[in-house]
Structure 1
Amino acid sequence: MKPKFLIRDETAADIGAIRDVTAAAFQTMAYSRHTEQYIIEELRAANALAVSLVAERDGRLVGHIAFSPVTVSDDSQGWYGLGPVSVLPAYQHQCIGKALVEEGLARLKTAGAQGCCLVGHPEYYVKFGFRNMPELVCEGVPPEYFFVLPLGGEAAQGTVTFHEAFSAEGPG
């Protein structure tokens, strides 16, 4: 059965809707600092959105995912961070987030990425192959919330640093 939504690259016309979708998706999340929409805006302003996809349903933007380069202390190249990923609350549990993650990872693989990492919910990301790897850490993040997915070549080792946009506090 064909999904009832379309996954595509973001366009300039989507920027406001991406901000709204992201804010709405994280509004009730207790673990959120409610800055995810500002993180995306700062990644975009820094030209650090390596992959930025939207999910559209019935002409309405209902989801978004961002991937940006990360730095690994062992100088491994081609590693990316996944996040934020957002789906409007009324559209959650309809496989939209899953489709965004799968399409984004496929695009990273096609582009020759070596790996992807994220900070996220332990039960959700393992179904995509992400796992905790003690040889790759993110300072300040409990290991059970930091996940890694090698995509090719040798796995990196050391400390991952996400783009400085992840410390965004509010509007630019």
Structure 2
Amino acid sequence: MTDRAFLPCRIAVLTVSDTRTPDDDRSGDTLVERLEGAGHLLADRAITRDDRADIAGKLREWCADPDIDVVISTGGTGLTGRDVTVEAHRDVYQKEIDAFGTVFTLVSMKKIGTSAVQSRACAGVAHGTYLFALPGSPSACRDAWDEILVHQLDFRHKPCNFVEIMPRLEEHLRRK
């Protein structure tokens, strides 16, 4: 860490599931616990069914909200017919953060070996908002947060992090 001051991000958490409710959303609870524990602010939280249009609609809604910096979704990143979160995210992305999925796979390999190949975790940017799609297990959410996001969403992290470039995500829209 450095002598920089911590800058809290405003983070929304989206659980994608046909069966989860607020009472049994362990993955969403895991993310909220970790982001708040790190000093970030929970901007919003929702559960949506495994429907591409519904997921993309919620992502677009949150990207249009100036009080949300980051969206983390959990669930729907696998290979089954109902797993459409990745496709919904990519419908919204303006730029994909390709290395996120690679780094997540490396982290997962340490825990679950070659089964990590079944995850399609991904990330991107849309309208100045970071979007991360994580698998639906609490363990995968812990791994993604503890090994990647806690660092990249911390302005103090060196040599670089997502927070320090946040003001420049939409610099192409500024008047010259």
TM range (shorter): 0.3 to 0.5
TM-score (norm: length of structure 1): 0.36
Q: Which has the higher helix share?
A: 2
